[in-house]
Amino acid sequence: MRITRRWALGAMAFAPLAAFGAQEPGSQPACYDSDRLPLSQRSMRRSLGFKEVSDSETRRCSDCAFFTRTQGDCGTCQLLIGGPTNAASVCNSWAGKS
């Protein structure tokens, strides 16, 4: 993976959000506050058909080539320019790890 200045700045911007990692039993991990995402992140998620919780057992961010786990069930997505995501989320650009 090529780390660019833009990617690094994006990853740093979301690093504090990883602290939201606390999780209630049986609930979606709160890796970030979706209400506080920048407009650019919300727009990208909308265009990628992002779902907070995948309907599939096999197609999830945790199994996607673009996902990088940061802590627990939280991670970042290269297609979201380093934006935060949950291991259990998914979008239309899911690509299995080879």
Q: Does 14 bind ligand SF4 (CB under 6 A)?
A: no
Binding segment for ligand SF4 (CB under 6 A), chosen from 1-9, 11-19, 32-40, 62-70, is 62-70
Neighbours of 53 (CB within 10 A): 11
Q: How far is the CB of 92 from ligand SF4 (least distance, A)?
A: 7
The pair of three-digit structure tokens given for residue 76, joined into one six-digit string: 């970042």
Alpha helices, H only, 1-98? 5-14, 39-47
Of 13 and 48, nearer to ligand SF4 (C-beta) is 48
- Interaction between residue 85 and ligand SF4 (CB under 6 A): yes
Which of 69, 95, 96, 90 minimizes the C-alpha distance to 11? 69
Q: Considering the complex, state which of residue 74 and residue 90 has its C-beta at the smaller distance from ligand SF4.
A: 90
